[in-house]
Amino acid sequence: MTRNYRFTFGPWNIGTGSDPFGPPVRPDLPFAVKLREYKKLGFDGVQLHDDDVCPADWNVEQTRRGCAELKKILVDEGLFAEFVAPRLWEHAQTIDGGYTANSEADRRYALDRSKRAVDIANMIGTRDIVLWLAREGTYIREAKCPIEAPRRILDAVNMLLAYDKNIRILGEMKPNEPMDQAYLPTPGHFLALCYKSADPKRCGVLIESAHSILAGLDPSDDIAYALFHEKLWSVHLNDQNGLKYDQDKSFGSVDLRRAFNTVWVLERAKYGGCIGLDVKAMRTTKPEHQVKHLANSRAIFLRLVEVARSIDSSKVERLRAERDYESLELYIVEKLMGK
């Protein structure tokens, strides 16, 4: 049963516990050490930012060597690279955003850095480029032209599609944080942009549970909508306790019913993409427990797969036909309570 799904996470999911209000509380593990945890935890692949692979200011030759070294470690560990995401939110030239920055020179930096992420993806063996558009938005409405902004994002997507005819672009949308108001705040917004792109077949989405919840949506409905478009190419499963900062809590740890909805939709659709778990350990977690949240999220997911598979679909159909949603609700909740 477990082999139906391939599990992935990124090196940032094993973290030091630092937050805007306090310094690290756990030592920063070297990337090579983190990579040795993947298989032990039951994971199959690695998600990467461009500068997880090698520093962003390395020249072409250094980058080639850095990619070759990582590729070798991945092969030795029996792991695959799921995607590369250009980190367009830390460099001084991305203060005002990447593709939507008001400065032309800064926009150029974002485009060049994104092309370099494509080169890195090719060198480590993946065709998927994830765009989390962290700073493509504003703190005040008048800071940028909100009509021009999506055009600039579309131009960047088209530029990448033309740069490499094999890659796929996956938008990972989030409505806020770090920006007050993000452009293209939900997967639905990005899906509309996909159809306007130069090659809609190579444009899709990665949906993160917490991001949907922050937009006031049930992640399972966002996921189902992307599946309807055949554009759900990855997920970041996690959980979120209400409308506050992006918490990246362990999958299913806040709202088991909501997590079940997601698993039920993925199961029904026979979703074949990776199950990415974009989860963070609590700041209070001791160093010796710092990967538990990953193992736990995977275990909760698989337990919910079992529950989803135990649902009697003819009973569901009958209760639907009878419009007896009260009984249907009790049936599902009792399943979740282990009955």
Judged by CB, which is closer to ligand XUL: 275, or 308?
Answer: 275
Spot the catalytic one: 49, 189, 236, 293. Answer: 49
Binding of Mn ion by 208 (CB under 5 A): yes
Binding of ligand XUL by 208 (CB under 6 A): yes
Of 107, 236, 249, 280, which lies in the binding site for Mn ion, with binding defined by CB under 5 A?
A: 236
Binding of ligand XUL by 172 (CB under 6 A): yes
Spot the catalytic one: 51, 52, 239, 278. Answer: 52
What is the smallest separation between the CB atom of 174 and ligand XUL, expressed in angstroms? 5
Pairing, β 137-138 against β 181-182: antiparallel
How many chain residues bind ligand XUL (CB under 6 A)?
8
The residue type of 124 is: I
91 catalytic per annotation: no
The whole-angstrom separation of Cα 181 and Cα 159 is 25
Q: Do residues 152 and 101 make contact, with C-beta atoms less than 8 angstroms apart?
A: no
Where are the strands (E) in the chain, listed by range? Answer: 6-9, 45-49, 80-85, 128-131, 137-138, 168-171, 181-182, 203-208, 232-237, 274-277
Judged by CB, which is closer to ligand XUL: 149, or 207?
Answer: 207
The whole-angstrom separation of Cα 59 and Cα 64 is 9
Q: Within its chain, how far is the Cα of 248 from the centroid?
A: 11
What is the smallest separation between the CB atom of 167 and Mn ion, expressed in angstroms? 19
Judged by CB, which is closer to Mn ion: 222, or 278?
Answer: 278
Judged by CB, which is closer to ligand XUL: 132, or 190?
Answer: 132
Which residues between 269 and 288 bind ligand XUL (CB under 6 A)?
278
The residue type of 325 is: Y
What is the smallest separation between the CB atom of 210 and ligand XUL, expressed in angstroms? 7
Judged by CB, which is closer to Mn ion: 205, or 263?
Answer: 205
Of 173, 278, 293, 298, which lies in the binding site for Mn ion, with binding defined by CB under 5 A?
A: 278
Instruction: For 275-326, give the DSSP string.
Output: EEE-----TT--GGGTTHHHHHHHHHHHHHHHHHHHS-HHHHHHHHHTT-HH
Binding of ligand XUL by 236 (CB under 6 A): yes
Q: Which does 174 bind (CB under 5 to 8 A by kind): Mn ion, ligand XUL, none?
A: ligand XUL
Q: Is 129 helix (H, G, I), strand (E, B) or coil?
A: strand
Task: Give Cα separations from 107 to 70, 82, 110, 112, 160 (angstroms).
Answer: 29, 26, 5, 9, 14
Q: Which residue is nearest to ligand XUL (CB)?
A: 132
SS3 sequence, 188-217?
Answer: HHHHHHHHHCCCHHHEEEEEEHHHHHHCCC
Binding of ligand XUL by 207 (CB under 6 A): no
57 catalytic per annotation: no
What is the smallest separation between the CB atom of 282 and Mn ion, expressed in angstroms? 18
What does the binding site for ligand XUL look like in residue numbers (CB under 6 A)? 85, 132, 172, 174, 208, 236, 246, 278
Catalytic site positions: 49, 52
Using CB under 5 A, list all residues that contact Mn ion.
208, 236, 278
